[in-house]
């Protein structure tokens, strides 16, 4: 093949390549998919597991008030701690509104159960002397927390489109039981007149604050770590009033129990 033939063939191939490139340039370019940030607005429901720490202070007063000052002399102070920790299971339901666009506000209710029980023998503040003689047969008893619940407002900030850091606060409820018992012991018992075994229960109402972090998975699943503190004030309860007063004896005393709780959980929820 002559040089002129080779040159003609090369020119033909070049023109074909240029024509193909021009046609390819005319083809529409597919735009990359648009990734939209997940929305936190909506109703959600979930379950949680964790622990509840009960911070209880038991103070005893008015021991054998019929006898008056100087007859009964406490020697172990007037009170002490009745703390406990227990595993907690629960559930929660809430609604979120996303705004501004990195802020999320909401309202949430939760309910949980744990068996926080602390027993003491003798009860704080009941040890002492009677006419200078150490008391025996001192009352024992317990503080027990079972179910709890709360309704809280939440306000959070999106540190990432799928990650929310939030604070919460509202009203809380705690089921609380107080028990005290004693038997007649020969000698100098605390219970002078009758054996006693009394339990009183009350649903305490208090306030709660807390916070946590929540992460959205797949647009519908929410995983979280949550903590809240609750304060239920002081419950004042007289004991051994029925059958506790007679000729030459007075078994009565009054308990003042201040209750606070610390609750830490992890949860999994579905956003509808």
**Cα–Cα distance measured from residue 223 to residue 148, given in angstroms and rounded to the nearest whole number:** 22
The radius of gyration of the chain's CA atoms, rounded to the nearest angstrom, is 35
CATH number at residue 264: 2.40.160.20
- The reply to whether 65 falls in a domain is yes
The phi, psi pair for 10, rounded to 5°, reads -60, -40
**Does residue 19 lie in a domain region?**
no
- Side-chain-facing half-sphere of 177: CA atoms under 13 Å: 14
What lies within 8 Å, CB to CB, of 242 at 6+ separation is none
Q: Is residue 27 part of a domain?
A: no
CA distance 172 to 38: 31
- 81 within domain boundaries: yes
- What is the rounded CA–CA span in Å between residue 143 and residue 56? 8
CB 257 within 8 A of CB 82: yes
Q: Which residues contact 262 (CB under 8 A, 6 or more apart)?
A: 52, 53, 55, 227, 228, 229
Instruction: Supply the DSSP string of 106-125, one letter for each residue.
Output: EEEEEEEEEEEEEEEESPTT
Cα separation, 142 vs 162, in Å, equals 45
Q: What is the pLDDT of residue 18?
A: 52
pLDDT digits (tens, 9 = 90+) for 150-208: 999 999 999 999 999 999 999 999 999 999 999 987 766 678 888 999 999 999 999 99
Instruction: Find residue 58's DSSP bridge partners.
Output: 80, 257
Q: Is residue 125 part of a domain?
A: yes
pTM to 2 decimal places: 0.83
* Per-residue pLDDT tens digits for 29-85: 565 555 577 899 999 999 999 999 999 999 998 888 887 655 666 554 588 999 999
- The number of folded domains in the chain is 1
Is 11 contained in some domain? no
Q: Does residue 186 sit within a domain?
A: yes
Residue 158 lies in a domain: yes
Q: Is the peptide bond before 122 cis (omega within 30 degrees of 0)?
A: yes
Residue 14 burial class via C-beta count within 10 angstroms: exposed 0-12, middle 13-18, buried 19 and up: exposed
Predicted confidence (pLDDT) per residue in 213-254, tens digit: 999 999 899 999 999 999 999 999 999 999 888 887 888 899
* pLDDT score recorded for residue 2: 56
- In the DSSP assignment, the letter for residue 188 is S
Backbone φ, ψ for residue 25 (5° rounding): -65, -30
- The predicted structure's pLDDT at residue 6: 46
Q: Which two tokens stand for residue 20?
A: 């193909």
What separation in angstroms does the CA of 3 have from each of 6, 9, 256?
A: 5, 10, 113
CB atoms within 10 A of CB 154: 22
Domain that holds residue 117: 41-271
Q: How far apart are CA 53 and CA 121, in angstroms?
A: 21
- What is the C-alpha to C-alpha distance for residues 89 and 47, in angstroms, rounded to an integer? 8
Question: Residue 237, exposed/middle/buried by CB under 10 A (0-12, 13-18, 19+)?
Answer: middle
């Amino acid at each position: 093949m002559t040089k002129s033939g080779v040159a003609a063939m090369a020119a033909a191939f070049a023109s074909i390549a240029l024509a193909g490139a021009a046609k390819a340039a005319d083809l529409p370019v597919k735009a990359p998919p648009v990734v939209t940030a997940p929305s936190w607005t909506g109703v959600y429901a979930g379950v949680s597991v964790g622990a509840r720490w009960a911070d209880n202070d038991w103070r005893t007063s008015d021991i054998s008030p019929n006898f008056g000052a100087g007859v009964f002399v406490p020697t172990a102070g007037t009170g002490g701690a009745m703390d406990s920790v227990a595993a907690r299971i629960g559930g929660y339901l809430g609604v979120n509104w996303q705004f501004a666009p990195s802020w999320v506000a909401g309202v949430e209710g939760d309910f949980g159960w744990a068996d926080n029980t602390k027993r003491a023998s003798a009860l704080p503040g009941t040890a002492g002397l009677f006419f200078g003689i150490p008391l025996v047969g001192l009352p024992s008893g317990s503080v027990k927390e079972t179910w709890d619940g709360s309704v809280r407002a939440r306000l959070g900030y999106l540190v990432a489109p799928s990650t929310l850091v939030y604070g919460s606060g509202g009203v809380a409820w705690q089921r609380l039981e107080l028990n005290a018992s004693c038997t007649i012991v020969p000698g100098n018992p605390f219970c002078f007149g009758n054996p006693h075994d009394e339990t009183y229960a009350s649903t305490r109402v208090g306030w709660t604050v807390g916070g946590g972090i929540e992460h959205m998975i797949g647009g519908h699943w929410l995983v979280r770590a949550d903590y809240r503190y609750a304060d239920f004030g002081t419950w004042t309860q007289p004991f051994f009033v029925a059958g506790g007063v007679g000729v030459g004896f007075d078994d009565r005393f009054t308990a003042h129990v201040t209750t606070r709780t610390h609750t830490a959980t992890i949860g999994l929820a579905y956003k509808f």
